[in-house]
Amino acid sequence: MRPCPTFLLVLLRWVRLRMCARRWRYSNGNNSRLPLCVRQRWAYLKLMVNSLYYNSLTNSDVVMDSLMEPIFWMVDLLTRWFGAVFVCLVVILTSSILLIAYVGLLPLILNTYSPPWIVWHIGYGHWNLIMIVFHYYKATKTAPGYPPTVKNDIPFVSVCKKCIIPKPARTHHCGICNTCILKMDHHCPWLNNCVGHFNQRYFFCFCLSMTLGCVYCSISGRNLFLDAYSAIERFKHMDLDKSGVPVTGMGQLIGILPPGQSTYQTPPPPYTFRDKMFHKSIIYMWVLTSTVAVALGGLTIWHAVLISRGETSIERHINNKEAERMAKHGKVYKNPFNYGRLNNWKVFFGVEKRSHWLTRVLLPSGHAPYGNGLTWDICPIRKDMIPV
């Protein structure tokens, strides 16, 4: 009796399924013996390789980003590590200027200046110092704002490909902080913090206060710098043109000095070590403050222009590209977050009435900015704020 072909086919399929099941259990058993970190890295490596050719949208930009990713990663890592060093450098340099001002310049001001000028220098200098210290501390310690990581009904414009969470409008990912930042402007290594929705005002006020302080030191100390530089040059010439003839122990043998007469001693210099250090400190203070005033002043002006336009540093590049794209179609791009120059400054500083120009702009203030940084649909400007 010959076996039925249908029976043989079913038997063959059963044997094949049994073999596949045994192979699957064997492979899972081997993988389960590997450490979890090894399995995760192997899965991530396979995913990274597959992502290079996962669809037809891969272009030269994607390839270049993939090739440059190790360099970007190294730069972000170094910036994250050296952030604390940059903060310490700011504190040390600022403290050195304060030491010179209090130890060297303040006694000079009290002894030589008239009472009105003494009141001006002491009053303005301490106001500027308070503004610098307050805003720098708040800028470094205030979180810039992060989008929620749990499910919510907040509208979003995209999904972050690194955090895998919804990104609200004006939110961008920071590779150094390794998270998304609300209304991100940039990552500042001198703050060791991102500049975002909740600390952008502190950052700008610190830059403005530091620039004004450096300009004040540079202008008021210009004559002192010129006098100190001339004094240092004069000290150098005095060291070269000291009176007296240097005589060694062979002087008596060659007849320079008569026998029994002692060697001529060089007189001490007409200046002291304290005088020399004072003049060098003045030169150091003027050069440092002038350099910072130029560099930081340019950055402050740039951010003032961005605030007047109602955009951040990142949005500046995005808006330019969007404007060029719409211009090709004969359209004009309009920034939806631009409420007008004056209103942009009111929103930025949180000015709601006239007294706020004093309490929230000219004096240190820890008030929160408008909105929560998640939604930007409603303009925060009220009609009664326009005439302020």
Confidence of residue 13 (pLDDT cuts 50, 70, 90): low
**Looking at residues 164-191, what average pLDDT do you find?**
92
Q: How far apart are CA 221 and CA 278, in angstroms?
A: 13
Confidence of residue 42 (pLDDT cuts 50, 70, 90): confident
Three-state SS at 332: coil
Q: Does residue 109 carry a pLDDT above 60?
A: yes
Share of the chain above pLDDT 70, in %: 76
Least confident of 52-56, 152-156, 190-194, 372-376: 52-56
Q: Which pLDDT score is estimated for 195? A: 96
Confidence of residue 322 (pLDDT cuts 50, 70, 90): very high
Residues designated as active site: 188
More confident position, 286 or 31: 286
Three-state SS at 186: strand
Q: Which pLDDT score is estimated for 272? A: 77
Q: How far apart are CA 313 and CA 305, in angstroms?
A: 10
Q: How far apart are CA 388 and CA 386, in angstroms?
A: 6
**Looking at residues 371-386, what average pLDDT do you find?**
65
Q: How crowded is residue 334: how many other Cβ atoms within 10 Å of its Cβ?
A: 10
Q: How crowded is residue 180: how many other Cβ atoms within 10 Å of its Cβ?
A: 23
How many residues are present in the chain?
A: 388
Q: Which pLDDT score is estimated for 122? A: 95
Q: Which pLDDT score is estimated for 40? A: 84
Phi and psi at 121, nearest 5°, equal -65, -45
Give me the amino acid identity at 25.
R
* DSSP secondary structure code for residue 353 in this structure: S
Three-state SS at 168: coil
Both structure tokens of 17: 């399924």
Q: Does residue 246 carry a pLDDT above 70?
A: no
Least confident of 59-68, 108-117, 124-133, 290-299: 59-68
Q: Which pLDDT score is estimated for 16? A: 59
Three-state SS at 170: coil
Confidence of residue 387 (pLDDT cuts 50, 70, 90): very low
Least confident of 39-43, 118-122, 191-195, 315-319: 39-43
Q: Where would I find the beta strands (DSSP E) of the chain?
A: 158-159, 166-167, 172-174, 179-181, 186-188, 193-195
Phi and psi at 41, nearest 5°, equal -65, -35
Q: Which pLDDT score is estimated for 379? A: 55
**Looking at residues 263-284, what average pLDDT do you find?**
75
pTM above 0.85, yes or no: no
Q: Which pLDDT score is estimated for 251? A: 42
Q: Does residue 354 carry a pLDDT above 90?
A: yes
* DSSP secondary structure code for residue 269 in this structure: P
More confident position, 254 or 85: 85
Q: Which pLDDT score is estimated for 304? A: 97
Give me the amino acid identity at 106.
L
More confident position, 246 or 197: 197
Q: Which pLDDT score is estimated for 252? A: 43
Say which residue the tokens 């192997």 belong to: 42
Q: How far is CA 142 from CA 58, 116, 145, 200, 382, in A?
A: 39, 38, 9, 10, 27
Share of the chain above pLDDT 90, in %: 54
Q: Does residue 174 carry a pLDDT above 60?
A: yes
Task: Give residues with Cβ within 8 angstroms of 73, minimum separation 6.
Answer: 175
**Looking at residues 301-305, what average pLDDT do you find?**
97
Q: Which pLDDT score is estimated for 256? A: 45
Longest dimension (CA), the chain: 145
Q: Which pLDDT score is estimated for 380? A: 54
